[in-house]
Amino acid sequence: MNKKIQHVYIIGSKGIPAKYGGFETFVEKLTEYKQSRSIQYHVACMNVGDDLYGDGEQHFEYNQADCFNIAVPNIGPARAIYYDVKALDYAIELAKKNSDIEPIFYILACRIGPFLNHYKKKIKKIKGKLYVNPDGHEWLRAKWSYPVRRYWKFSEKLMVKHADLMICDSLNIEKYIKTDYEKYTPKTTYIAYGTEQSKSTLSATDVRVKDWFKEKNIGDEGYYLVVGRFVPENNYETMIKEFMKSDTKKDFVLVTNIEENKFYNKLKKETGFDKDPRIKFVGTVYDQELLKYIRENAFAYLHGHEVGGTNPSLLEALASTKVNLLLDVSFNKEVARDGSLYWNKKPDNLMYLINEISKTDKLKLVNNQELSIRIERKYSWGKIIDDYEKVFGGI
């Protein structure tokens, strides 16, 4: 007898093909690397009138996944909540219409807790399961006002309460879910985020490389690098201040989006980084091969994230950059262990580390070989997708 097809509805990413973002890349890889013949993915895509996904068609196929567009009006910060609710509503009705057997609804992030009891009843009626990825500590992010942070925490609580399974991409997040919400006896499992292992196909002689480095006035291996969202909780202020105090002659290259960013102007006023020629904001780099090359040829990578689970930009750096200087928090140490050097937010701590690595043998203390083996064994997309397919019940 043939095994039933396991239908998995993915709600919460902006959609695929991935244009940006951690969850979007995850869904892209989940569908791209699919091995199981008994799993059928259905992926919600956010349509805000730009027809980014499927040229405006209601349904389209990508990576053998059935993708469906959800029209979302521009209603400000509530847009993501509206999108998740509408996408879940549509997915449940689609599963009913198709008479799916025990479908799984996998929600990425904890935005719609207050609405979930209503949908959980609908899911139970069709003998479905509700899985949730709690992401990181969204309620700690500095960009949110106090009332919004309270909503995030309240919503997270209700997501945990109603989920059949919490899939955590960090052991520390899993421990937090089990401890903080012990009264709900949540069922959890750990599956990390993944990263590509392959090296960049570009070389120093490629036009794309030469043009970019010339335009930004940066020399190969003459720079420290950071890649990530330009938000306060990623500790850009500490990194910039400490770098400015350091003696290094190398540049500090920041690959991040600063358009319409109040934080950028505030930081410029407070630190005066625009007067230090070493500090170079270079915008975003959407060319993935070029971004790989930039990572591989950096002297060192700086990572200041302290809110969240397994951070995608950290994994990408660990897989490709020779030396990584990470903020000393549990999420980062869980992944890198002794394969990186660590700093804290005390004055002069990071400055001292930057000065030291340029003139001592401290770099030899970094166990790059062991780190490479760990990244390959624990964080390759192949392994991550295999883990997901086991959880989803594929063969």
Question: Is 202 part of any domain?
Answer: no
Question: Is 373 part of any domain?
Answer: yes
What percent of the residues of the chain are helix, what percent strand, and what percent coil, each to the nearest 5? Answer: 45, 15, 35
pLDDT digits (tens, 9 = 90+) for 240-265: 999 999 999 999 999 998 876 788 99
**Contact criterion met (CB below 8 Å) for 271 and 241:** yes
Question: Is 250 part of any domain?
Answer: yes
Same structural domain for residues 162 and 293? Answer: no
Question: Is 162 part of any domain?
Answer: yes
CATH code where residue 300 lies:
3.40.50.2000
Low-confidence ranges of the chain (pLDDT < 70): 1-3, 51-52, 54-56, 137-144, 220-221, 260, 308-310, 360-368, 394-395
Question: Is 364 part of any domain?
Answer: yes
**Contact criterion met (CB below 8 Å) for 136 and 40:** no
Identity of the amino acid at 104? I
The pLDDT of residue 140 is 60
Same structural domain for residues 224 and 183? Answer: no
Question: Is 152 part of any domain?
Answer: yes
Same structural domain for residues 330 and 351? Answer: yes
The pLDDT of residue 361 is 56
Same structural domain for residues 55 and 84? Answer: yes
Report how many domains make up the chain. 2
Same structural domain for residues 178 and 229? Answer: no
Listed in sequence order, the DSSP H helices in 246-327 are: 262-271, 288-296, 312-320
> Structure pTM?
0.87
Same structural domain for residues 128 and 237? Answer: no
Same structural domain for residues 128 and 155? Answer: yes
Q: What are the structure tokens assigned to 96, written together?
A: 């009913």
The residue assigned the tokens 């479908």 is 103
Same structural domain for residues 190 and 319? Answer: no
The pLDDT of residue 2 is 44
Question: Is 201 part of any domain?
Answer: no
The pLDDT of residue 1 is 36
Same structural domain for residues 169 and 212? Answer: no
Other C-beta atoms closer than 10 Å to the C-beta of 126 total 15
The pLDDT of residue 220 is 67
The residue assigned the tokens 């993944």 is 194
Question: Is 121 part of any domain?
Answer: yes
Same structural domain for residues 243 and 357? Answer: yes
Same structural domain for residues 215 and 359? Answer: yes
Listed in sequence order, the DSSP H helices in the chain are: 22-32, 79-97, 113-125, 146-162, 171-180, 207-216, 236-245, 262-271, 288-296, 312-320, 330-336, 349-357, 368-379, 381-392
Same structural domain for residues 190 and 231? Answer: no
The pLDDT of residue 369 is 72
Other C-beta atoms closer than 10 Å to the C-beta of 342 total 18
**Contact criterion met (CB below 8 Å) for 20 and 31:** no
Domain extent, residue 150, equals 6-194+380-392
**270 Rama class: left (phi>0) / alpha (psi -120 to 50) / beta:** alpha
